[in-house]
A and B are shown apart, each in its own frame.
Chain A
């Protein structure tokens, strides 16, 4: 009789049930969508944040103190150390090579341009790199051997990949040795504009470059003159050398393990070391870069990494708070609907009690009705929420959000819980109604 009673009761009060179920569906949809986004957002947002610049700088390891001001390294010429350009493709062979989104080498030196001293920077603007092939196997002291997926044979990278946000008046250099881009301040000093030619002299050699674009970044780049790396190496007499590499890597925010690994990765117990090494923490990636490139020192640009971590943390917190508010609102909606229902069904409750129903039987019916509303509203809301998450992913992050398997049971359970909590007080009141009073209609 109970299933029949529940079915008839819910069917007989369609509009009220739709109202309660609708409130729950909206909350469940928001919770499912925001939870899906929150669970899948770290990688998506981290990928977006990579557009705002490199988060790792690789420099040559050297004993003497080196000072860098405005992008220029100050060190005795005899002591200056360089990285080999041929080693750069190895960046994609590290365990987290897949997370290396882009990198660009730099070779900088002061030169004379148009009769004034400027900082010349040689770099790759947009270069296709041939990657070393062969199996990449990583063995750990636990005996585990891990083999990440192959990275393919070619990789397109350069300044455009790691600094797409630069404002360029004119156009980017397309790796033509005779082209250059000049910072806004340099252009003003030299009085050049896109299309003009600039003579550059260094180490007794002179070469003329054609300006393709002016750079506006608000940073030291506005005081620099950018040319193709090979042209700079030839001018400076440093073939095959680079003094700095900027790397843009997808990383996960630091946690306790990351903090412990940062201090001394080798000091971690073997299982933890393996877990640390196989997590895309920024320090694990810099560690792996130093392993891959001889005499390289990889430094995390801590401000960028920490800002990203803090931003992701705040974003997740915001999503959780919005979900909680949506769920609380739905709970109040259910409570309001159930309270109205109890008011409307006072006589029915009074009758049930008069013909022998015990308070627990009344409570059971009301709570089961609420739970069914929770299942129906939660189910509908979850489906809508997952579609909404996909929509948010496509519209906001340009990638689909993958539904996490935990979302469906979690949101369904949450919807039922909210429905039961919302129904608890009205049900308690219903179970306590006096039949003699309610049947009179008082």
Chain B
């Protein structure tokens, strides 16, 4: 399968120094649903931030669709993020004074042109056709997360990055959100999802586990393999 992301000996060191990621190498084929697992502080969110072009690695290289992220200027990185990545957050991060449809339109506005009909359609895809005019405070946690998913999808990104998408949801809403993820996966979206919930992780095609910033195990269809420190995995 065509490879969309390749990480080569990726490290991230924060001042301290704190080694958040330690020489992680990985390849993700297009259309794969990958779960990133590990204990708190293992480097999951740091990896997701690097993939989402929200941060830059200290060492190593990220290739996304053939583009080397490290070589982009700040403005180019913003543009690349806008075009390539859809972000889904545990905390939803919806703008409180905007309605559901306006929150989705916000992503369109920063991408190109806000289109209310298209934003409404994106919300309808996640089952919120009747909640367009509701503000975040008037929506349940599950509904807010679905608005967040619609916002991530509206610009048709190549990669969906989700940070603990069910972390703030009850079981019923978790099931609804995961059904949406399953549907997106079936439609061919590439999904990288950080989770520490094994049940959620099991839904992915592949689970990788981080420990102290290092890639320690890769689970593929119930097969468990020790991860080589520097070799690519696919």
Q: Which residues of A contact B (CB under 8 A)?
A: 1-2, 4-5, 8-9, 11-13, 347-348, 350-358, 361, 434-436, 439-440
Contact = CB atoms under 8 A, between A and B. Distances in A.
B98 interface: yes
B191 to A, nearest CB: 17
Nearest to B87: A354
Contact of A8 (B81, B98, B108, B151): B98
A1 B105 contact: yes
B54 A435 contact: yes
A375 B63 CA distance: 48
Contact of B54 (A1, A352, A354): A354
Given A357-B78, A439-B91, 8 more contacts: A1-B105, A8-B102, A12-B97, A352-B110, A355-B82, A355-B111, A356-B110, A358-B78
26 contacts: A1-B105, A5-B102, A5-B106, A5-B109, A8-B98, A8-B102, A13-B97, A348-B95, A350-B93, A351-B93, A351-B95, A354-B54, A354-B81, A354-B87, A355-B110, A355-B111, A355-B151, A356-B79, A356-B111, A357-B78, A357-B110, A434-B55, A435-B54, A436-B49, A439-B89, A440-B45
A431 to B, nearest CB: 11
A353 to B, nearest CB: 7
Contacts of B167: none
B13 interface: no
Given A347-B93, A351-B95, A356 B107 contact: yes
A406 to B, nearest CB: 38
Interface string B58-89: 00000000000000000100110110000101
Given A356-B81, A358-B75, A439 B110 contact: no
Contacts of A2: 109
Contacts of B79: 356
Interface residues of B, number: 29
Interface in B100-118: 102, 105-111, 114
A355 B87 contact: yes
A2 B98 CA distance: 12
Nearest to B135: A12
Contacts of B95: 348, 351
B163 to A, nearest CB: 9
Contacts, number: 65
A8 B97 contact: yes
5 A-B pairs with the lowest CB-CB distances in the bound complex, closest first: A12-B97, A356-B82, A1-B114, A1-B109, A436-B54
A353 B78 contact: yes
B contacts with A: majority SS = helix
A335 B66 CA distance: 45
Contacts of B81: 354, 356
A11 B98 CA distance: 10
Interface of B: 45, 49, 52, 54-55, 75, 78-79, 81-82, 87, 89, 91, 93, 95-98, 102, 105-111, 114, 151, 155
Contacts of A5: 98, 102, 106, 109
A2 B100 CA distance: 16
Contacts of B111: 355-356
Contacts of A9: 97
Contacts of A352: 106, 110
Contacts of B107: 355-356
Contacts of A350: 93
A179 to B, nearest CB: 81
Contacts of A440: 45
B73 to A, nearest CB: 12
Given A355-B87, A356-B107, A4 B102 contact: yes
Contacts of B155: 356
B178 to A, nearest CB: 23
Contacts of A354: 52, 54, 81, 87, 93
Contacts of A435: 54
Contacts of A439: 54, 89, 91, 93
A361 B102 CA distance: 17
Contacts of B110: 352, 355-358, 361
A12 B102 CA distance: 14
Nearest to B111: A356
A348 B103 CA distance: 11
Contacts of B91: 439
A433 to B, nearest CB: 12
A324 to B, nearest CB: 36
Contacts of B106: 1, 5, 352, 355
Q: Among B98, B110, B114, which residue has the most Cβ atoms of chain A within 10 A?
A: B110
Contacts of B49: 436
A436 B55 contact: yes
Contacts of A436: 49, 54-55
A36 B224 CA distance: 82
Contacts of B75: 358
Contacts of A358: 75, 78, 110
Nearest to B114: A1
A434 B95 CA distance: 17
B82 A12 contact: no
A366 to B, nearest CB: 14
Contacts of A13: 97
A11 B97 contact: yes
A439 B102 CA distance: 20
B156 to A, nearest CB: 13
B43 to A, nearest CB: 13
Contacts of A11: 97
A6 B45 CA distance: 32
A27 to B, nearest CB: 27
B49 to A, nearest CB: 5
B152 to A, nearest CB: 8
Contacts of B151: 355
B98 to A, nearest CB: 6
Nearest to A347: B93
